[in-house]
A = this chain, B = another copy of it.
Amino acid sequence: MVEHDSHTLDTIFHALGDATRRAMLGELASGERTVSELAEPFAMSLAAASKHIKVLENAGMVRRDIRGRTHVCSLDPVPLMSADQWIGMYRRFWTDRLDTLERLLRAADATALPPKKPLPPEDKGE
């Protein structure tokens, strides 16, 4: 498994490793937000929120558009696609695991249940 741009992946995964930053991405998934709007739900100073936004910008996941005095942020999904591609190399490991689990459960079911008997014929003598 070859890694082409490890610095970028470092930056992307580092940016994702914080619940506040992931929540900010979640907000931006609904549409553009000003810096103040992005900061508002969090119990932190505007300066602290701005640092988080900066980390997301450095990782390329947030774009900032300056309109007059307002800084408007939007989501750029391309770095998330890179992260997805990296994780995707391991997908077979958990699908294999889930397949094995499914086979074990089926085998357990087959052993635990009594063999199916045909239903007795209905009593038609009443």
A: which residues have CB within 8 A of B? 1, 3, 6-7, 9-14, 16-19, 22-23, 25-26, 29, 75, 77-78, 80-81, 83-84, 86-91, 93-94, 97
Contact = CB atoms under 8 A, between A and B. Distances in A.
Contacts of A12: 17
Given A16-B13, A18-B10, A91 B97 contact: no
A88 B88 CA distance: 11
A14 to B, nearest CB: 4
Q: Please tell me how many copies of the chain the complex holds.
A: 2
A18 B12 CA distance: 10
A41 B25 CA distance: 36
Given A14-B14, A77-B94, A80-B94, 6 more contacts: A3-B23, A10-B18, A13-B13, A13-B14, A22-B86, A80-B93
B1 A29 contact: yes
A16 B87 CA distance: 10
A27 B84 CA distance: 19
A25 B83 contact: no
Contacts of A10: 17-19
A16 to B, nearest CB: 4
